[in-house]
Amino acid sequence: MLIIEVLSGTVAALCLALGCVLAIIPAVIDADAIVTQFIVGCVGAVASFIILAPVIRRYKLNKPDHRDQRSNMDAIIGRTGIVTEPIYPDGRQGRVKVDGDNWLAVTDACYCPVLKGETVEVLSYDSIVIKVRPKR
């Protein structure tokens, strides 16, 4: 149960595990007390859920949320790069060097071809291909 809790990250499996541990106590005292084991296990699971859920929720709320941080791909949007292979508006890909990394790049159909050595701005990305526009 504890392995499931670690893998799932929820409180429910941990509370059920604590209820099961508490249910062991009547079994040790009297092996025939199956009903008592069941009741103690259920009450223990519910009580541990009532006690642990707010504590764990508070702990998770105080933890910084990493989803607000931009990934490396998001960080290149708005950056300036230099064209290393020409990019044509008909969809043919070229290459752009942004912050030392060489990217496949396309440009909007409304722009003229972007030639080698020109400066471009990164607009967006789709997988490993960035969309750029000339910075004129």
Based on the fold, state whether residues 87 and 107 are members of the same structural domain: yes
Based on the fold, state whether residues 77 and 59 are members of the same structural domain: no
* CA gap 15, 11 in Å, rounded: 6
Question: pLDDT tens across 47-83, in order?
Answer: 988 888 788 777 776 666 555 555 667 888 999 999 9
Residue 17, pLDDT above cutoff 80: yes
Question: What is the total count of domains within the chain?
Answer: 2
pTM: 0.48
Range of the domain at 90: 72-134
- The phi and psi torsions of 45 (rounded to 5 degrees) equal -65, -45
Q: Which of 63, 91, 111 is the last residue of a domain?
A: 63
Report yes or no: 44 and 14 within 8 Å, Cβ to Cβ: no
Report yes or no: 69 and 94 within 8 Å, Cβ to Cβ: no
Q: Which residue has the higher pLDDT, 63 or 43?
A: 43
Question: pLDDT tens across 77-126, in order?
Answer: 999 999 999 998 888 899 999 989 999 999 876 768 889 999 999 999 88
Report yes or no: 54 and 99 within 8 Å, Cβ to Cβ: no
Angle at CA of residue 128, ends 124 and 130, nearest 5°: 30
Report yes or no: 118 and 82 within 8 Å, Cβ to Cβ: yes
Report yes or no: 91 and 134 within 8 Å, Cβ to Cβ: no
Q: Which of 17, 37, 63 is the last residue of a domain?
A: 63
